[in-house]
Amino acid sequence: MADVTFEKTMDLDSEAPIETNIAATLNALPHPLIRVNDAGNVLYANMAAEHFFRISANVLAKRRLVEIVPFGSSLLALVEQVRERMAPINEYGVDLGTPVNGSNRVVDLQVSPIFEVPGDILIMLQEHSAAKKMDQQLTYQGAARSVTGLGSMLAHEVRNPLSGIRGAAQLLEDVVEGEDQALAHLIKEEVDRICTLVDRMETFGDLYPVQREPLNIHTILNHVKKLATSGFARHICFSDEFDPSLPLILGNRDQLIQVFLNLVKNAAESIGKDTSDGEIILKTAFRPGIRLSVPGSGEKVTLPLEFSVIDNGAGIDSDLMPHLFDPFVSTKAMGSGLGLALVAKIVRDHDAVIECDSEKNHTRFRVLMARHSET
Ligand SMILES: Nc1ncnc2c1ncn2[C@@H]1O[C@H](COP(=O)(O)OP(=O)(O)OP(=O)(O)O)[C@@H](O)[C@H]1O
Ligand SMILES: [Mg+2]
């Protein structure tokens, strides 16, 4: 700022005093700019800074930096570092939102020492543009909508031709022989696989209102156990730790079966086919102290019923954890990555939440729900 050549150039073009010109220039800057002294007092704030902090420049100039940024903000530490090192530092994606200037004010910070006045620091903020934020939100919404739309579209449009192809393959299989018969069989099998996928996608499209009824969770878990042990989890030892005094829940039977079947199937797949000491525990418990914010609504609700599926399989990689419930996320060669996305959707539709914690040989998915009387 105190660049001599810069000041001279300004002076040549204007009759106004140099200070006025500099102030006008800094005010024309679209990025908030603040200068603080070594005691942390704000010495100068340009117009963009007034707008950003929603505090007038006069008032800002009476404040300390610590009073205008969020409590414990990394900006404060950054200023100290710059002062110590006497070298500029940038930091990206810092939220400077406060009750005064609003939430989610994410900025990139450029903090530089003012060499001419030791201890003084210049802070420039570059707000993530509204366009960028909106773009991000639209992308998320778009992604969610496209999964929903795709589900409905697939269900309606793809099923008919598929059944035609399957029928034709069946006819072929009956009349051809040898290798051709195997190929016709392959077509049939693959069509069946697509049909299963279509069925699962359909659940994402909210085509039908969900009917809910009072249910005993143990009936559902026992049913899932029966399906699993007579099929894909034949080789796995199941144990249940049920609390028989658990109250009823309000839910859709088929959908809840889908939830626990998906969780048990994942558990069985992580244990693998070749393991002889694989174990899946189905557990229910009443935990009156659990209050959680349901995603999507800011409210806290009491969700005292806890239903867990625990396995002693390979565990989930920590890199995968943040994306676990996203559609099309899979580590399996033949996996569609829709299982947990579907689980998350059904759980959300039931005003419940699902959580997962995992370490090697111990992975637990917990569904937390309200009891029937509170639903
Ligand atoms: N109990 C578990 N143990 C270890 N990893 C798991 C477990 N549950 C889920 N995962 C991981 O999460 C990924 C996503 O699971 P999800 O059920 O959504 O898809 P998928 O099982 O791969 O495919 P699909 O369910 O469509 O057959 C899995 O590929 C797996 O890596
Ligand atoms: Mg799965």
- For the residues of 43-76, what is the DSSP string, one character each? EEE-HHHHHHHTS-HHHHTTSBHHHHS-TT-HHH
Nearest 5°: CA angle at 305, between 302 and 310?
A: 130
CA 67 to centroid of ligand 2, rounded, Å:
49
Mean pLDDT value across residues 188-215 = 77
pLDDT at residue 130 above 70?
no
Q: Identify which of 203-207, 307-311, 321-325, 335-339 has the greatest average pLDDT.
A: 307-311
* Residue appearing with tokens 């299963």: 196
8 Å CB contact between 330 and 337: yes
Ion ligand 2, residue ranges at CB < 5 A: 266, 339
Q: β-pairing, 279-286 with 237-241?
A: parallel
Higher local confidence (pLDDT), 357 or 327: 357
The pLDDT assigned to 15 comes to 59
Nearest-angstrom CA–CA distance, 351 and 367: 11
pLDDT band at 131 (very low <50, low <70, confident <90, very high): very low
Mean pLDDT value across residues 66-87 = 90
Which ligand gives the minimal distance to the CA of 322? 1
Instruction: Record the tokens describing residue 346, joined without a space.
Output: 């059904």
Which ligand gives the minimal distance to the CA of 314? 1
pLDDT band at 297 (very low <50, low <70, confident <90, very high): low
Mean pLDDT value across residues 43-67 = 90
Query: Which residue's alpha carbon is at the smallest distance from atom 19 of ligand 1?
Result: 337
The pLDDT assigned to 1 comes to 38
The best mutation among 282, 312, 332 to test binding of ligand 1, ranked by most ligand atoms within 8 Å of the C-beta, falls on 332
pLDDT at residue 275 above 80?
yes
Higher local confidence (pLDDT), 63 or 12: 63
CA 344 to centroid of ligand 2, rounded, Å:
12
Which ligand gives the minimal distance to the CA of 267? 1
pLDDT at residue 136 above 60?
no
- For the residues of 241-281, what is the DSSP string, one character each? E--TTPPPEEE-HHHHHHHHHHHHHHHHHHH-SS-SS-EEE
* Nearest alpha-carbon partner for 1 in 126, 118, 112: 112
Q: Which helix (H) or strand (E) holds 50?
A: helix 47-53
The pLDDT assigned to 24 comes to 84
Q: What CA–CA distances, in Å, run from 184 to 32, 190, 197, 334?
A: 68, 10, 20, 21
Higher local confidence (pLDDT), 148 or 355: 355
Nearest-angstrom CA–CA distance, 8 and 364: 69
Which amino acid belongs to residue 98? T
Query: Which residue's alpha carbon is at the smallest distance from atom 8 of ligand 1?
Result: 266
pLDDT at residue 138 above 50?
no
The pLDDT assigned to 208 comes to 57
The pLDDT assigned to 322 comes to 83
Mean pLDDT value across residues 104-114 = 87
Pocket of ligand 1 (CB under 6 A): 262, 266-267, 270, 311, 313-316, 320, 324, 329-332, 335-341, 363
pLDDT tens profile 168-187: 999 999 999 988 998 999 89
Task: Determine the longest span between alpha carbons in the chain, in angstroms.
Answer: 98
DSSP one-letter code for 81: H
Higher local confidence (pLDDT), 120 or 203: 120
The pLDDT assigned to 230 comes to 87
Q: Which atom of ligand 1 is nearest to the CA of 335?
A: 23
Instruction: Record the tokens describing residue 13, joined without a space.
Output: 């073009």
Handedness of CA 295, 296, 299, 304 (dihedral sign): negative
**Dihedral angle computed from the Cα positions of residues 223, 230, 278 and 274, in that order, rounded to the nearest 10 degrees:** -150
pLDDT band at 137 (very low <50, low <70, confident <90, very high): very low
Among 260-264, 310-314, 351-355, where is mean pLDDT lowest? 351-355
Mean of pLDDT over the chain: 82
Instruction: Record the tokens describing residue 264, joined without a space.
Output: 């048990």
Q: Identify which of 121-135, 229-243, 334-348 has the greatest average pLDDT.
A: 229-243
